[in-house]
C-alpha cells in the first residue's frame, strides 16, 4: 500500500483579499504524524478546515483514499474515514463523557440504520464508543458530566469523540492547548499510541510535543509553506530559524 491516505494539492483559500492558505500541498500516510506549526494567523486551522470539508477551497484538490473529495461536506468525509478535532472544543458540556462519545459514534452510523435503530447497528455504535473510551483512558470518567471533568480530560474526550467515528485520518487542531506539563505528557503518550493505524495531521504549538511526535514537519507563515520535511532538518533550516523557531534554538 504505497499511497498517501489523504493528499492535498495546491490548496488555496481566500477570504476576500487575504490568502489564509496559499498553494499548500501535503500528504498524510498511515502510521505517520505530520505536524504543522506556525505563528498565530499562519493558516493552520484553515488548512485543517479545508481538509475536513468545513471550508471549501478557492483552488486546489483533496483526495481521500484515491478519491477526489474536493468540496465534500464534513458528514460525508467523516463517513469516508476522516476524523477531526477542533481547536475550540466540540464537547456538549451538560452531557456525560459517555453520552458525548456515544453521540460521536452514532454520527458514523448510516441514517437508515439509525432511524430503524437496528439492534446490530446499536451494538456496533456502543462498541465503537466503548473502544474510544478505553483507548483514551477515560473509562473511569464515563459517567461524569463533561463540564465537570478537568481541562486535560476534556481534551482527551475530544480525541475520544474523534476516535468514535472510526477514522483512518485524524486531523487534530492544538490538542495540547492550555495543558499543564503532566497533562501534556499524557496527551503525547496517547497520540503516540494512536499513530498506529491512523494517518494524523497535528497542528500544535508545543514544540517538545511536536519534536517527540512528528515524522514530518511543515512550517506555515502567512498562509504559505516555508519549509517541510524531516523534523530535525526543518529545525536546522535557516529560514525557519529566523521566521519562527529563532528563539527556540
Ligand atoms: P492559525 O490557525 O494558524 O492561527 P487561521 O487559519 O485561524 O490561522 O487563520 C488564518 C488567517 O485567516 C487569519 O488572518 C484569520 O483571521 C483568517 N481567517 C480565518 N478564518 C476566517 C474566516 N472565516 N473569514 C475571514 N478570515 C478568516
Ligand atoms: Mg488555529
Summarised one tens digit per residue, pLDDT across range 189-213 is 999 999 999 999 999 999 999 999 9
pLDDT of residue 225: 97
For residue 205, how far is its CA from the centre of ligand 2 (angstroms)?
Answer: 10
Asked whether 218 lines ligand 1 (CB < 6 A), one says no
Query: Does 233 contact ligand 1 (Cβ within 6 A)?
Result: no
77 lines ligand 1 (CB under 6 A): no
Q: In this structure, what C-alpha cell is assigned to residue 7? A: 493528499
pLDDT of residue 15: 97
Position 118 scores a pLDDT of 66
Please work out whether the CB of residue 41 comes within 6 Å of at least one atom of ligand 1.
yes
DSSP line for the chain: --S-SEEEEEEEEEETTEEEEEEEEEEE-TTEEEEEE-STTSSHHHHHHHHHTSS--SEEEEEETTEE-TT--HHHHHHTTEEEE-SS----TTSBHHHHHHHHHHTTS-HHHHHHT-HHHHHHHHHHHHHHHHHTT-GGGTTSBGGGS-HHHHHHHHHHHHHTT--SEEEEE-TTTT--HHHHHHHHHHHHHHHTT-EEEEE-S-HHHHHHH-SEEEEEETTEEEEEESHHHHHH-HHHIIIIIGGG-
CA of 172 from ligand 2 middle (Å) equals: 10
Which residues of the chain are modeled with pLDDT < 70? 1-2, 87-88, 109-118, 245-249
- Give the C-alpha separation, 155 to 148, whole Å: 13
Place of cell 485524524: 170
Is the CB–ligand 1 distance for residue 45 below 6 Å? Answer: yes
CA of 178 relative to ligand 2 center, distance in Å: 13
Q: Please, what sign has the CA dihedral across residues 180, 182, 186, 189? A: positive
∠ CA 170-229-208, rounded to 5°:
65
User: What whole-number distance in Å separates Cα of residue 18 and Cα of residue 30?
Assistant: 33
**φ, ψ of residue 167 in degrees (nearest 5):** -80, 155
Ligand 1 mutation pick, 41, 52, 58, 224, max ligand atoms within 8 A of CB = 41
Domains of the chain with bracketed CATH:
1-81+168-249 (3.40.50.300), 92-166 (no CATH)
Task: Tell me if 44 CB under 6 Å of ligand 1.
Answer: yes
Q: Which atom of ligand 1 is nearest to the CA of 49?
A: 6
Structure confidence at residue 248 (pLDDT): 46
Share of the chain above pLDDT 90, in %: 81
Integer Cα distance of 188 and 236 in angstroms: 23
Q: Return the pLDDT at 239.
A: 83
Amino acid at each position: 500500500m504505497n499511497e498517501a491516505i489523504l493528499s492535498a494539492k495546491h490548496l488555496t483559500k481566500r477570504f476576500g483579499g487575504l490568502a489564509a492558505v496559499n498553494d499548500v500541498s501535503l500528504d498524510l500516510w498511515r502510521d505517520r504524524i505530520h505536524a504543522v506549526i506556525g505563528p498565530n494567523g499562519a493558516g493552520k486551522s484553515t488548512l485543517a478546515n479545508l481538509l475536513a470539508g468545513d471550508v471549501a477551497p478557492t483552488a486546489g484538490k483533496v483526495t481521500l483514499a484515491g478519491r477526489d473529495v474536493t468540496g465534500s461536506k464534513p458528514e460525508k468525509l467523516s463517513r469516508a474515514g476522516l476524523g477531526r478535532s477542533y481547536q475550540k472544543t466540540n464537547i456538549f458540556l451538560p452531557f456525560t463523557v459517555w453520552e458525548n462519545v456515544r453521540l460521536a459514534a452514532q454520527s458514523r452510523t448510516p441514517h437508515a440504520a439509525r432511524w430503524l435503530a437496528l439492534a446490530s447497528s446499536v451494538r456496533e455504535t456502543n462498541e465503537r464508543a466503548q473502544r474510544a473510551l478505553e483507548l483514551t483512558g477515560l473509562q473511569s470518567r464515563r459517567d461524569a458530566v463533561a463540564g465537570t471533568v478537568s481541562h486535560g480530560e476534556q481534551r482527551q474526550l475530544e480525541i475520544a469523540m474523534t476516535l468514535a467515528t472510526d477514522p483512518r485520518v485524524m486531523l487534530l487542531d492544538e490538542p495540547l492547548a492550555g495543558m499543564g506539563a503532566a497533562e501534556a505528557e499524557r496527551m503525547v503518550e496517547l497520540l503516540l499510541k494512536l499513530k498506529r493505524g491512523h494517518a494524523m495531521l497535528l497542528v500544535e504549538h508545543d514544540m517538545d510535543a511536536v519534536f517527540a511526535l512528528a515524522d514530518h514537519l511543515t512550517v506555515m507563515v502567512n498562509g504559505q509553506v516555508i519549509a517541510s520535511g524531516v523534523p530535525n532538518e526543518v529545525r536546522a533550516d535557516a529560514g525557519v530559524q529566523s521566521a519562527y523557531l529563532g528563539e527556540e534554538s
